[in-house]
Structure 1
Amino acid sequence: MANALKASSLYRFMTHKRKVLSLYKKSLRHLEAWCYNLGRPHYCYERTLLRARFDQHKDEPSENRAAQLLRLGEEEFWENQSPDPIVWPNDGVEPGVLFERLNKYKIPEHYIEFWSAEEKAMFPDFLAKREKWIEIRKQTWEQEMKILQEWDKKNIEEGVPMTDQLPAAKEKDGYPPFWWHTVTRPLEQPERMTWFPRTANTS
């Protein structure tokens, strides 16, 4: 679990090609939303121009220049995204059918503190590891906050826009900041099973 990362931090580990493809796909979706009432021919014309802009720099030899173009493209998309994007029925965003579908399986991690002794006895290995994670969190909190403050100060001095990106661990194979939010993530299936005490069907 030393290499566990928050989902919001995975973007910086994606390859450049994957980031460009993701930008192209979401740009097409929002372009389609903008052209929804203008007719299919208008959308096809704008889609051709968009593809030409991407193809213009697909063989960029300079990695720095390619990264800069990607950043500018992300900023342009953010400024021009549709306020009413098209949402497919099975999308995980509102009003898609998958929106918050799994919320019933998510509970705050600290709810474990309210488990009864009988319930805790069902997961002795997990709770033993959890106590170690909590102890490590207490010992490393001040150090991790210091690393985070240094990272923010460095970005401010360099004029880098503030994002949710977290700094990498200073030590090899060390824990990244706030690693315990991933390690002690909510249980995927927190609902009591039929074999839990006092939950068996007595009828």
Structure 2
Amino acid sequence: MAVPTGIVTHSRKVCSLYKRALRNLEAWYDRRHIFRYRAVLLRQRFEENKNVNDPVKANELLLAGEKELFETQHFQPKKFANSPGGCAFEREVIPPDWVLDYWHPLEKAQYPEYFARREQRKKEFVAWWEKKYGKPDPKDLHH
């Protein structure tokens, strides 16, 4: 997962707050029709303040929303199964590509076309890398 490094705009913060508030409602109300009713009320609260042009007032509203979300957060929020914290997170680990380099030659012999193409692509990648970034200095490799 990439860590955001740029400046987060006010509108992005509001969208994030809205989405987290919706997920919080989803955790509290498991009956779909009640959740939808609460979601419409939540959307109405956001729509009432969408045209606030004063940055100080807009920031105050955002901070108040963050505080309210913190105070009303569910004690056991729902998590998607494959998301961090979910019941199936990293259950099926996909092995990295370099594992194939450690196959025994007899195993590689069962798939000759694949490994021939793979070696060719590795050479093309090294050539592309050296063209873009230059060859590594041998003196720097020993440190």
TM-score normalised by structure 1 residue count:
0.42
Per-residue displacement from partner, 1:35-94 (whole Å, max 9, x unpaired)?
01xx21111111110000000101101011001100110011011011111111121224
Provide structure 2 residue ranges, at least 5 long, that are not aligned to the other structure.
94-137
Q: Between Structure 1 and Structure 2, whose CA radius of gyration is higher?
A: 2
Aligned pairs for 1:102-141 within 5 A: 124=140, 127=143
For residue 85 of structure 1, the aligned residue among 63, 74, 77 is 77
More helix per residue: 2
Q: What is the alpha-carbon distance in structure 2 between the residues aligned to residue 16 and residue 29 of structure 1?
A: 20
- The answer to whether structure 1 residue 76 and structure 2 residue 92 are counterparts is no
Corresponding residue pairs, total: 97
Runs ≥4 residues deviating over 4 A:
none
What does residue 60 of structure 1 align with? 52
Q: Contact (CA 8 Å) 2:80, 2:86: kept in 1 or not?
A: no
- The answer to whether structure 1 residue 25 and structure 2 residue 41 are counterparts is no
CA RMSD of aligned residues (A): 2.8
AA in 2 matched with 1:34:
W
AA in 2 matched with 1:43:
F
Residues 30 and 98 of structure 1, relative CA distance in 2, 3 Å threshold: farther
| Percentage identity across paired residues of the two chains | 34
Residues 124 and 27 of structure 1, relative CA distance in 2, 3 Å threshold: same
Aligned pairs for 1:113-192 within 5 A: 124=140, 127=143
Provide structure 1 residue ranges, at least 5 long, that are not aligned to the other structure.
1-6, 102-121, 128-203
